[in-house]
Chain A
């Protein structure tokens, strides 16, 4: 068990390292990062001047080192006095753009937002609680709907209850969730006028976004609960429980559901990870002020430090949640860690 945990932690660490490399490369893959960041009508000279200012003209390993460790540290190490003076000068000048200075990812600094001129990671962290809230609400709704649906579906196999729930799950998996979001707005917000169309001012603003974000999770968990319950309901111990004369619903809930729950708990955990890693489209539909909404806005304004900070943060959370779920799974079912 201990070796398993250590191995999984190490693996997650490597994954996160790889993600940081991807986040760094995001701007480099075009070959000319300065051109991506500048307005479309910029002249060639402007782009080159900007490139020099941002340090894009330096060798890529040095740029990566600065991205990770911070420009001050790297300049110190390389003895690049001129670069350091340039940065110091900018530090003293209150009107100079702040985007050039960075303390590096290891100190939690992903650079400044070009548009807002405040640290990108700070802005992302400010929006993060809203994304967490939305993800938790979505998982809650998914669990509340899918577990009874799956259990009933398996218990009343091949009846109309089963068919309704299975067809519903099939539709749920095939429906683009942002379209469900639009339909919910049309019906509940515009036609009935019960709920607001977008934004976040009171608790009930979360209802429609949470249903939308939770759609795929609901469909997938329903299918898993159903198939797990069908497996378990065929087991000998369930037959024994029934033959002892225990009431059917107690057999279903206490004997069957409990034993079917380990894979379900794992899937719920993974779904939470997926939702934390990106409710981008849902947030865009409902103008929900989370990280995804921030990112889409940043993309439209070519404000890439925010995009980089957001990808890094959400990837970190995603990897971390997966790690926790895996360890929890191994703890619930020790056979896993030996395979």
Chain B
């Protein structure tokens, strides 16, 4: 997917429909039709995104409303006012279904924010390292290798505990690991792309370095970074929920899936539903994101199969 050498050299916009066949987007959609798992992924991810955007529409009840009269009621419980608690209630009498719907917010916000923050850092560092080479590249590569050799989960837990569990700190700590992945892959891509003639041409026509980096090189690594972003989004959502599970997530009363699972852990023998449903939705979300990631990888960047392991 290298941008047309000639066009870039002359810095002319080529009319999209004139010289090319179906666009990447069209190809991706054709491929999507042949893949039921990816269709499921797309459907489920859309659903969760809608939940996160407008939970008040879908949430049947108030996720924060407590009442010890409703202590650990089983799924399907109907209270005196006639409200049905489809997935049961927790130890404070709160509706599990409503809390799951509202909880989608934190998972998605943290996951997407971490993907963007780490992407910005990783792509910038990777492009600089790959383009300039020499000692800049050596130092950056060493830093990346070193950082990848640090066991992450334990460090993340400690850092969040020390910095304090706020949305911002959680995003930063998670991004601390993932930028390395972007940086390493982008660096390798740029190393080969910078040898292309269109880069030489851009230099010859007097383009500034920053212009070469971000107008000429960046579009060529964009598809790779989109694939990494999708493949890592699921992992970040899992890390966020693990932090919440350990009591290091966004503080209560904000509902989080990980926090709900932690509540459920105390009542495994009496109220299995508290631990079952939030985890189920969490797994389906991550599974859907991963299915989408596999599809994007096959469409945009078939060479990256190895990265998925």
Contacts and interface: CB of A to CB of B under 8 A. Distances in A.
A318 B155 CA distance: 13
Given A183-B275, A278-B151, A295-B158, 8 more contacts: A18-B147, A22-B155, A176-B241, A176-B261, A182-B268, A186-B272, A280-B246, A281-B245
Given A27-B162, A170-B290, A176 B154 contact: no
Interface of B: 142, 145-147, 149-155, 157-159, 161-163, 234, 238, 241-242, 245-248, 261, 264-265, 268-269, 272, 275-276, 279, 282-283, 286-287, 290-291, 309
B144 to A, nearest CB: 11
A4 to B, nearest CB: 15
Most chain B Cβ neighbours within 10 Å, of A30, A171, A173, A190: A173
Interface of A: 11-12, 14-15, 18-19, 22, 26-27, 29-30, 36, 170-171, 173-176, 178-179, 182-183, 185-186, 189-190, 197, 220, 223-224, 267, 274, 277-278, 280-281, 284-285, 292, 295-296, 299-300, 304, 307, 310-311, 314-315, 318-319, 322
A296 B283 contact: no
Contacts of B261: 176, 178-179, 182
Contacts of B146: 14-15, 18
Contact of B286 (A176, A182, A322): A176
A189 B309 CA distance: 33
A64 B291 CA distance: 47
Contacts of A277: 151, 153-154
A15 B145 CA distance: 8
A189 B269 CA distance: 9
A8 to B, nearest CB: 11
30 contacts: A18-B150, A27-B162, A30-B162, A170-B287, A170-B290, A174-B286, A174-B290, A175-B287, A176-B238, A176-B241, A178-B242, A179-B279, A182-B261, A182-B264, A186-B272, A186-B275, A189-B268, A223-B309, A278-B151, A278-B152, A280-B154, A280-B157, A280-B246, A281-B245, A292-B154, A295-B157, A296-B157, A296-B246, A311-B151, A322-B149
A68 B264 CA distance: 43
Given A14-B146, A15-B146, A176-B282, A171 B287 contact: yes
A12 B65 CA distance: 53
Contacts of B264: 182
Nearest 8 pairs of A and B residues by beta carbon: A277-B151, A179-B279, A174-B287, A278-B153, A174-B286, A299-B161, A182-B275, A318-B151
